[in-house]
Amino acid sequence: MAKNYSQIEKKAQELLDSLKINELPIPINEVAERAGTSVTAFDLGDDISGVLHIKNNKANIGYNPSESKVRQRFTVAHELGHYILHKHDEKDKIYVDNENYFYPLKFRTTNMKLSEQDYEEEQEANAFAAALLIPVRLVQREVKNYNGFDLSDNSMIVELAKKFDVSMQAMSYRIFRLVDAGQI
């Protein structure tokens, strides 16, 4: 991994802290705009979820408005992840993300040619998106409302996904990761 995942968690949390955002669901478009990007719905074609376009140091995030709302939110968070983690020093750069970005493994089975570095950047942008939309601290706060929790109990995941305004998949993946890391 090019970047340590705990660093990514930290960057996402620092961003939320600097904007004093502590309530759910995370207002992702507002976060992205206050972090210095503009956010616009674009007709990107069916299989494109989002783009990050950096031109003359100005960053624009485009998301596909025909996808579900939770998907759009994840896309904006993912593109913001590229902006915060990967903008390097180039003045002009474009990231285009297709429908599979959330499942990096699928890249291997498609025709998309991703280099090792691209692949890592996609995983990092996904990790940043999850950390931003589903912050550890807020998960910890929310799971306190449950009398212990049973990972096989789907209804808890459904409720949490609604509260965080993310997909069930994103929510359960995040919960499993945090349990694994001993953070909840």
Provide the binding-site residues for Zn ion, judged by CB under 5 A. Answer: 97, 101, 122, 125
How many degrees, rounded to 5, is the angle at CA 176 between CA 130 and CA 117? 50
In the complex, minimum distance from the CB of residue 171 to Zn ion, in angstroms, rounded to a whole number: 20
Helix axes 116-133, 5-18, angle to 10 degrees: 40
Q: Which residue sits closest to Zn ion, CB atoms considered?
A: 97
Cβ-based nearer residue to Zn ion, 7 or 140: 7
Distance, CA of 71 to CA of 44 (rounded, Å): 14
Cβ-based nearer residue to Zn ion, 9 or 122: 122
Cβ-based nearer residue to Zn ion, 13 or 100: 100
Cβ-based nearer residue to Zn ion, 101 or 107: 101
Burial of 109 (0-12, 13-18, 19+ CB in 10 A): exposed
Beta strands 58-63 and 37-41 are parallel
In the complex, minimum distance from the CB of residue 121 to Zn ion, in angstroms, rounded to a whole number: 7
Fill in the DSSP letter of residue 27. Answer: -
Cβ-based nearer residue to Zn ion, 83 or 101: 101
How many degrees, rounded to 5, is the angle at CA 141 between CA 137 and CA 143? 115
- Do residues 28 and 73 make contact, with C-beta atoms less than 8 angstroms apart? yes
In the complex, minimum distance from the CB of residue 126 to Zn ion, in angstroms, rounded to a whole number: 8
In the complex, minimum distance from the CB of residue 83 to Zn ion, in angstroms, rounded to a whole number: 11
At 63, list the tokens: 């998301």
Distance, CA of 75 to CA of 130 (rounded, Å): 11
In the complex, minimum distance from the CB of residue 122 to Zn ion, in angstroms, rounded to a whole number: 5
In the complex, minimum distance from the CB of residue 124 to Zn ion, in angstroms, rounded to a whole number: 9
For the four alpha carbons of 106, 72, 178 and 159, in that order, the dihedral sign comes to: negative
